[in-house]
Amino acid sequence: MLNKIADTADQKWAWALLFGSALILELVALYFQYGMDLKPCIMCIYQRTAVFGVLFAALLPLLKNNIITRTIAYIGWGISAIWGMLIAIEHVDIQTASNPFFVSCEIVPNFPAFLPLHTMLPNIFAATGDCGNIDWEFLGMSMPQWMIVVFTLYSLAFLMVIASRLITRRFWDLFTFLQIFKK
C-alpha cells in the first residue's frame, strides 16, 4: 500500500489531480466573488493565495516531471496546505469570536513588497469584505469552515505521500539527484 502511494507521487496524473482540484477551487472562489457578489476579506485572500500555492506547486511536475520539480512541488504543496489550514482556522476564530470588537483583520493584504499581488492583480487579490461576516453557508458550515476541510485534506494527502516516501526510502528525490553527480 505504501509503495503504491509512493509510486503515485511520481505520476503526472496525480499532480494533474492536485492541480485540477486547486484550479476548481479558484474558479469557484471567483464565481462566488463575481457571480454571487460575495466580497472576499483579507483572510479569504490569504486562503486564495494558499490555494494558488498548491496550484503552482502541482504545475511544476506537470510541466517537467523530474526529481527537482517534484521536490520543489512537495515543499510548495506542504507549505501552502498547512499555511492555508492555519489561516482558515484563524478566520473561523474571527467569525466565531464572542466579542467581535476585540478581533479584527487587516484591511490591506500583507504581501511582500516585491510581489504586491493586491495591486498587480486587484480583481483576484484585493480584499473588499469583512472577516467577521458570514455571507455564505452550506450544510451549516461557513466558507472558512469548508476551507479548513479542504486544507486538511490537502495536508493529509501531503503527509501520506511524504510518509510513504520516507518509509519506502524514496523521499529524498533531490538527495538522489545529487548522488548522480558524485558518480
Cα gap 53→62, rounded to integer Å: 15
Phi, psi of 161 (to 5 degrees): -65, -45
What pLDDT shows up at residue 111? 65
Active site residues: 41, 44, 48, 105, 131
Angle at which helix 67-95 crosses helix 42-63, to 10 degrees, equals 160
Cβ(127)–Cβ(109) below 8 Å = yes
What is the full DSSP assignment across 115-126?
--HHHHSHHHH-
Q: Tell whether the model's pLDDT for residue 179 goes beyond 60.
A: no
* pTM for this model (two decimals): 0.81
Average of per-residue pLDDT values in the chain: 82
Q: List pLDDT tens digits, range 115-172.
A: 666 666 667 777 777 767 778 778 988 889 999 999 999 999 999 888 887 777 655 5
Cα gap 172→150, rounded to integer Å: 27
